[in-house]
Homo-oligomer: A and B are copies of this chain.
Amino acid sequence: MSSNNFKQELFTQFARVGKAMSNGNRLELLEFIAQGERSVDELAKISGLSVANTSQHLQQLRLAGLINCNKRGLKVFYHISGDDVIDLFNSLRNVAERHLSDVQQLISTYLTVKDDLEPIPATELLDRARDGLVTVLDVRPSEEYQSGHVPGAINIPLSQLEKHLGSLDKAHDIVAYCRGPHCVLAFDAVEKLRDKGFTAHRLEDGFPEWKSAGLPVE
């Protein structure tokens, strides 16, 4: 029966996408790329893989339709091939968090210590920001900030937070955000700010989620 054949072919194709997401390094690369366009050497540096190895993983992601590239000057830049890929990634993470006990354990041992740092939802943030009550703080590296950020947010990468503490107003609440729910940058920032006497909160989710929720972007 040829329809059976068709169905199997189809599933085999779907499996290509699964296979692309079956390796931790590739998922990490994908997450970096989801934050904005990245060149191969950047990705190699961030992920700690060799350039050749990074390149190969990128090919696989590309052949599975998850990312695309374009060359500008000497460098090849990779970007996510669509918002549906971000949805897929989030679904995957969601399933892993809910159903894999190892993940639950990992998160609870690493993050609960820090998670008294109550997050605040995005809608509330917009209200408070409009009223001039909060300082929105983007703690990601400045390249990421430049390729898109929450409106009105100021950028102080975590590594430079200490230096710039003076430029922050203690009268305002501070809301810090970074790359996503498991990015520890914002956790660390809020911890440090509170140590110094600021009123600081962590934004629930990070910039990719903000963007894909259709919220305004600068």
Contact = CB atoms under 8 A, between A and B. Distances in A.
A82 B92 CA distance: 13
Interface in A19-64: 19-28, 31, 48, 64
Interface in A87-112: 87-88, 91-96, 98-100, 102-103, 106-107, 110
B102 A95 contact: no
Interface of A is mostly: helix
A7 B92 contact: no
A156 interface: no
Given A19-B18, A22-B18, A184-B3, A65 B95 contact: yes
Given A3-B184, A15-B21, A10 B103 contact: yes
Contacts of A182: 7, 10
B24 A100 contact: no
A84 to B, nearest CB: 5
B96 A13 contact: yes
Contact of A84 (B11, B27, B91, B107): B91
A94 B89 CA distance: 12
Contacts of A153: none
A199 interface: no
The 6 closest A-B pairs by CB, nearest first: A65-B99, A18-B21, A19-B22, A11-B24, A12-B24, A18-B22
Interface of A: 3-4, 6-28, 31, 48, 64-66, 81-82, 84-85, 87-88, 91-96, 98-100, 102-103, 106-107, 110, 182, 184, 187-188
Given A10-B106, A14-B24, A14-B96, 10 more contacts: A3-B110, A6-B110, A8-B28, A13-B24, A14-B103, A15-B21, A22-B22, A66-B99, A84-B94, A88-B94
